[in-house]
Amino acid sequence: MEEFNDSDISSLLNQIAGSSPDTLMAHKAVLGKVRRVRQRRVMAVSAAAVVMVVSGAVAMVQNSNNRDGGSNIAVPLSPGDSQPIKVATTIGLSVTTTTIEGSISIDPIVTDPSASIPSTQPSSNSTTPSNIGNATTTTPTNTQAPTNSQGPLVTTDPSNNPTPTTTRPPSTTPPASSPGVTTPPVTKAPILTSPPTTQPEATSPPTTRAPVTSPPTTQPAVTTPPTTVPELKTWTCGGGSVKYRVTSNGLVLAETTPAPGFTISENKAKADEIVIKFVSNSKNDERKSALKIIRSGLVSTSCEDENFNSRSDSEDSESNDNNEESADD
């Protein structure tokens, strides 16, 4: 250690090192730098916190938007989209759907071109057994039933007197009596009884319907199932009207109601398209109506009436009445 001691070298190097620097000024400078560094750190942390909060808020907004919809479709497709005002009417409809899924597989209304059935009366539908069947046409078999039953209906329709009031009672117009009588508007009972071999369950519905009709009146007002039933929509043409629903699986034909003097000439009900054609019962009357409901993203409806301008005066009055009814609907 002492071997390295050299006063000359030490003095020389101390000269090169210079005088002592100003410690006070240097200390202030150091404290200022420390303060700036800490401020930068605080700003960085606060900026990171702000970014996290903003990103969290954006994520929440995006989640809420995804939950609300993304639904550009005009019709409600999800259960949460149903209007709260329609809860009272959808309670009965929901009950009928749940019960008929297990018991009835045929839609009676589609098979019946009766013109006297009220088109839009959900409350009355829930009270009568036949109308309960009207409300449920969700299974594919229901859509096939009308095509099978159109044959007999056409043969029984030659009479040109579609009197809605006389054909109202559905139970008194079985298929056996239809040839002699006027058009049987309601064939719910015949359909249920005519195919006993193919559908043994069809004979049992009376037993199941009785408990089914009572629950709508006794059920509590607030239940979650009603929101699952889509809204029943009506589209009216000169030759008649159609009631349908738009579900997540597609279009469901609920009811087809020809106008007085008209009958159904074509009935196609698919998931993405419903085509109903009405023709006049009269041989001299060439009026036709084609009603189409197409669902491709949005649901679009169209109505084509032919030869409605070349009607006689009496037919005009009838059609006016018909239009009024459809307008009421």
Task: List the structure tokens of 144.
Answer: 């096939």
The residue (of 26 and 48) whose beta carbon lies closer to other proteins is 26
Query: What is the smallest separation between the CB atom of 50 and other proteins, expressed in angstroms?
Result: 23
**Which is nearest to 84 in space by CA: 216, 226, 219?**
226
Residue 251 to residue 140: CA distance in whole angstroms: 11
Could you report how far apart the first and last alpha carbons of the chain are, in Å? 114
Report the relative pairing of strands 262-269 and 250-258 from DSSP bridges: unpaired
Residue 292 to residue 267: CA distance in whole angstroms: 10
How many residues bind other proteins (CB under 8 A)? The answer is 26
Q: Which of 13, 47, 51, 54 binds other proteins (CB under 8 A)?
A: 13
Both structure tokens of 260:
């007085």
Helices (H), the chain: 7-17, 23-68, 87-103, 108-111, 122-127, 129-135, 140-156, 188-193, 205-213, 215-218, 313-328
Beta carbon nearer to other proteins, 34 or 74:
34
Q: Identify residues 136-165 at the interface with other proteins (CB under 8 A).
A: none
Closest distance to other proteins from the beta carbon of 7 (Å): 9
Residue with tokens 């009269």: 282
CB closer to other proteins out of 43 and 298: 43
**Is residue 26 near other proteins by the rule CB under 8 A?**
yes
| Contacting residue, 2, 17, 85, 218, with other proteins by CB under 8 A | 17
DSSP state of 259: P
Q: Which stretch binds other proteins (CB under 8 A): 7-15, 45-53, 74-82, 233-241?
A: 7-15
How far apart are the C-alpha atoms of 124 and 120, rounded to whole Å? 9
Residue closer to other proteins by CB (options 24, 85) is: 24
28-37 — which CB contacts under 8 Å span 24+ positions?
Answer: none
Taking alpha carbons only, the member of 200, 194, 202 closest to residue 153 is 194
Write each residue from 27 to 56 as x if it is in contact with other proteins (CB under 8 A), else as -, in one continuous string.
x-xxx-xx--xx------------------
Q: Which residues, other chains included, contact 17 with Cβ-Cβ below 8 Å and sequence gap of 6+? A: none
Single out the residue of 2, 23, 176, 284 in contact with other proteins (rule: CB under 8 A).
23
Beta carbon of residue 81, minimum distance to other proteins (angstroms, whole number): 55
Q: Kindly state the smallest distance separating residue 30's Cβ from other proteins, in Å.
A: 5
Q: Name the residue nearer to other proteins (CB basis): 7 or 309.
A: 7
216 vs 127: CA distance, rounded Å: 8
**Beta partners for residue 267, in sequence order:** 276
10 part of the interface to other proteins, by CB under 8 A: yes
Please state the closest distance from residue 52 (CB atom) to other proteins, in A: 24
Q: Give the 3-state secondary structure of residue 115.
A: coil
Rounded CA gap, 146 and 132, in Å?
A: 17
Near other proteins in 66-105, by CB under 8 A: none
Nearer to other proteins by Cβ, of 33 and 169: the residue is: 33
Q: Which stretch binds other proteins (CB under 8 A): 1-9, 50-58, 136-144, 235-243?
A: 1-9
Minimum CB separation of residue 51 from other proteins in Å reads 24
- The residue among 11 and 320 lying less far from other proteins, judged by its C-beta, is 11
CB closer to other proteins, 30 vs 74: 30
Q: Interface residues with other proteins (CB under 8 A)?
A: 1, 3-4, 6, 8-10, 12-18, 20-21, 23, 26-27, 29-31, 33-34, 37-38
